Structure 1
Amino acid sequence: MLGLSRFRLKLCLFDRMLLEDDSLDLPATLQLVKCDYCSEATQLRDLFSACEVDDAKKVEALLQQPLDPNMLADGRSALQLASFGGALKSVKLLLEAGADRDASFGRHGITPLMNAADQGHAEVVRALVEAKADKDRGSTGGVTSLLMAVSEGRLEVARCLLEFRADVQKAPEQGMTPLSVAARDGSPELARLLLQAGADANEHARPPSPLLLAARQGHLNLVKLLLDHRADMERAADSGFTPLAAAAQEGQLEVAQALVKARAKLHRTTRDGWTPLFAAARSGHSDIVSFLLEAGAEKNESAVEGMTPLLVAAMRGNVGVTRCLTEARALVDTVLDGITPVSAAASRGHAEVVRLLLGAGADKEGTGGCPPLFVAAFGGHLEVVSALIDARVNVARKMNDISALTLATHHGHLDIVGMLSQAQGCEHEEPTQPKPKRQRIT
């Protein structure tokens, strides 16, 4: 009536305001009076305290004063406080009293509906939406109530918002859609709910796609769900990583198997030229390397910079990946800037990798590149030197009149000096004065 709540309209008989339990002798002439708000600070504090504990009787009494439901304390209204705390009875009374259902709070612009959604108060969310709160309004950062609910895993809140047709695709500028968030966080129930409400498995505000996010995190059920909804397996992130490449890099074997079964491309490359096999080899995931090789991945395909899967595995000292690739007969003597897989492993002291490569027929002398014995002696890697000597490397070889023994002596690697001297059948080579300048072997 008159666009005002019942809390501001009072019936009067002559000059007396009638109370709810007053009796009347009829007929009687009554007046409908509009009451001004009371503005006492103590009553406002009482209202906030009553809302905190959802004391509906006290909230009702205070609103009957009448008290303005939109008065603020510390920049926040009673409805915002009640919504945050899930005080359903207080929320309904405040809405009836005319509280602003979309009033925002703080620099982030949080509304009562966002508060309730974030905290998982589904019944409060329903009350606010039924009171025509803006279900698609975003915070100052563009985050909607639905996105907040999904981010916090609030299934019932999301269900309620979608029942009232909340925008399932709305996202912050350059941000993630609700489906992308559900995919990232591994929430198949939420993802299924969003897809049933019309979310597009291939629509996202920015890369990466929901499928790539799920693949990277290893959420197998979500990957299968998105594939069932025709998610694009080849849609890549800005870096060029596809879902398969992301799964390979992160060691998500079951996801990689599901994607390959769905016919994801094995040889699609990133901007740096990485194939899924290279990504798995670089990260040291031998199980995925083995699977991709069996699926038909090209074992010698190099990245843009010319590095092969075997070279990167040797450089990083990954024994399992090196074994997989050598057993698959990957090329063991590829050269990149003078570095072969053996010399790369030798320079970093990866003795077991060196032995695997030598056993696969790798060139122990490093012909056309950097000699493995030289870099091992220079770096003080005794076990690598031992492996090379066992493979009958030429210990007397010199480059620019410098031998491996000279390098070991100059750098004080006495254990290697002794091993090389014994292998040569001669006494320790003593450094002359002054000491020769260090020379980088390339």
Structure 2
Amino acid sequence: MEEELIWETHGLLPLERQLHEASGWNQVERMKDLIEKRVNIRARNHVGRVALHWAAGAGHEQAVRLLLEHGAAVDDMDSFGMNALLLSAWFGHLQIVQILVSAGAKVHCENKDGLTLLHCAAQKGHMPVLAFIMEDLEDVALDRVDKLGRTAFHRAAEHGQLDALDFLVGSGCDHSVKDKEGNTALHLAASQGHVAVLRRLVDIGLDLEEQNTEGLIALHAAAQGIHTDCVKLLLSAGSNVNVLTQKKLSCLHFAALGGSVDVCRALIKAGGCTNVADKQGTAPIHLAVRHNFPGLVQLFIDAHSDLDAMDIRRQTPLHLAAEHAWQDVAEMLLIAGVDLSLRDKQGKTALAVAARSNHISLVDMIIKADRFYRWEKGHQRLF
């Protein structure tokens, strides 16, 4: 929203442009001169913004009063559905909010995303504005949802506004409400890595195992966002590390996709199963190999992952390393002792895959490993 207040003067006549700029800089005397020249106070730029929007968003009390005195419409909206009252709440200008309310602004307005005054103040953490809305305005719907189905409580959690969150809790908001995607405030705080807010939500007693429409719990969201501290916090609070989503993805799958050794280590230490496959037959180690995360591959090897697990194409981790020419990863897998005889859906071994792609050094490495395996097996029989 801040970027929307960058100067935009397209579609204005010269004097109108000057009024917009003077309003944004609180140049009251210049504004008076322009008003005497009968400039159109309600002139809109190409995104529907009027002079009052600039003055209110910048928190200029004198400019706001002058514009209102000369016929500015208090509830004019721009093309985003933002009016002066919503802008002043968004930027935390309490005095402007109070002036506009006294001037008859509609306090139950919302922008095109469904954000109300309460949403704006909560998302930005403007406590004086939040207190004024709750304590001085009438019939404020505490749990009103925006177009995403999110309340002010959701917005505060998603944007890490702990004081706003506490204020809303103290005001009696609904902690358990879900948005249109089934997310609770716990999901949103975890996905954005807001540890302090997440800790408060855990203390409040939000359900750690609540799943959204895709089957994700907050721990999945934290792992997906590679927020190690949030993952550790949720695990210590008792979150189930092996819950699967609708697509049978575990938290380890999300951590592997993000390449985070720290998150994967925390999940494995908490009992995360490294061999669980999703609906495509993909285990976390497949993802680590596919995206060339050697540190993760070694971690899964040390955690006794199934090194010969096959995905929906019957590809093992070594097939993937051969396909993408990940030499360091292939070496790790070969040292760990994979089965070189396994074939994918096309009937190809990892050696054949490497040869097909003309990865000469990988071909040589796999051949040498095969010879070593045979030599080692022969010597075991001798003894």
How far apart, CA to CA, are the structure 1 residues paired with 2:34 and 2:325?
Answer: 77
- Local SS of the residue matching 1:230: coil
Is 1:375 aligned to residue 320 of structure 2? Answer: yes
Structure-2 separation of matches of 1:409 and 1:82: 70
The residue aligned with 1:18 is none
- Relative to structure 2, which stretch is displaced further, 334-343 or 165-174? 165-174
CA separation in 1, counterparts of 2:282 and 2:51?
63
What is residue 228 of structure 1 aligned with on the other side?
Answer: 170
Partner of 1:328: 270
Listed one character per residue, the Cα deviations across residues 140-170 of structure 1 (whole Å, up to 9, x for unaligned) are: 6554332232234323212333456744322
2:371 is matched with 425
Asked whether the 8 Å contact 2:44–2:50 carries over to 1, the reply is no
> Does 2:75 align with 1:137?
yes
- When residues 189 and 404 of structure 1 are mapped into structure 2, their CA distance, relative to the original with a 3 A threshold, is same
Structure 1 residue runs of 5 or longer lacking an equivalent are 1-72, 427-442
Distance 1:174 1:310, change over 3 A: closer
The one of 281, 288, 293 aligned to 1:350: 293
Residue 340 of structure 2 is aligned to residue 395 of structure 1: yes
Alignment-derived partner of residue 264 in structure 1: 206
In structure 2, relative to structure 1, the CA distance for the partners of 1:76 and 1:335 (3 Å cut) is closer
Alpha-carbon distance in structure 2 between the residues aligned to 1:74 and 1:322: 59
2:144 matched to which residue of 1? Answer: 203
The aligned counterpart of 1:362 is 305
Gaps (5+ residues) in structure 2?
1-12, 373-383
Displacement of 1:277 in angstroms is 1.0
1:153 matches 2:92: yes
C-alpha distance in structure 2 between counterparts of 1:119 and 1:253, whole Å: 31
3-state DSSP of counterpart to 1:147: helix
Q: Which residue of the other structure, out of 103, 112, 122, is the alignment partner of 2:61? A: 122
Aligned residue for 1:402, secondary structure, equals: coil
Q: Across the two proteins, how many residue pairs are aligned to each other?
A: 350
Which deviates the most, 345-354 or 198-207?
198-207
CA gap of 1:390–1:200, structure 2 versus 1, over 3 A, is same
**1:155 maps to amino acid:** L
Residue 218 (structure 1) aligned with residue 160 (structure 2): yes
In our comparison, the structure showing a higher alpha carbon Rg is 1
Q: 2:378 corresponds to which residue?
A: none
Higher mean displacement: 293-302 or 194-203:
194-203
Shift of 1:323: 0.8
CA shift, 1:226, in A, is 2.0
Asked whether the equivalents of residues 396 and 424 of structure 1 are also in contact (C-alpha less than 8 Å), the reply is no
CA contact (8 A) 2:265 2:299 kept: yes
* Conservation of the 8 A alpha-carbon contact between 2:74 and 2:103: no
Identify, as 1 or 2, the structure richer in strand. 1
CA distance in 2, matches of 1:388, 1:80: 65
User: Does structure 2 retain, via aligned residues, the 8 Å contact 1:339–1:370?
Assistant: no
Give the conservation status (yes or no) of the 8 Å contact 2:275–2:305.
Answer: yes
Q: d(CA) in 2 for partners of 1:112 and 1:347?
A: 54
User: Is this contact kept in 2: 1:75–1:106, CA < 8 A?
Assistant: no
CA distance in 1, matches of 2:18, 2:365: 82
Matched, 1:312 2:246: no
Distance in structure 2 (CA, Å) of the matches to 1:407 and 1:386: 15
1:280 Cα offset (Å) = 1.2
Q: CA distance change for structure 1 residues 373 and 124 in 2, over 3 Å: closer, same or farther? A: closer
Deviation at 1:77, TM superposition (A): 12
Q: Specify the alignment match of 1:4 in structure 2.
A: none
Residue equivalent to 2:188: 246
Per-residue CA deviations over 1:263-289 (Å, capped at 9, x if unaligned) read: 122122222222111111112112211
- Contact kept, 8 Å, 1:173 with 1:205, in 2: the verdict is no
Q: In the alignment, residue 342 of structure 1 is paired with which amino acid?
A: I
Greater relative contact order, per chain length (Cα 8 Å cut-off, separation 6+): 2
Give per-residue Cα distances to partners, 1:1-23, cap 9 Å, x unaligned.
xxxxxxxxxxxxxxxxxxxxxxx
- Asked if 2 retains the 8 angstrom alpha-carbon contact of 1:211 and 1:226, the reply is yes
For 1:110 and 1:252, the matched residues in 2 are separated by 34
C-alpha distance in 1 between matches for 2:51 and 2:358:
72
Q: Is the 8 A contact 1:211 1:233 kept in 2?
A: yes
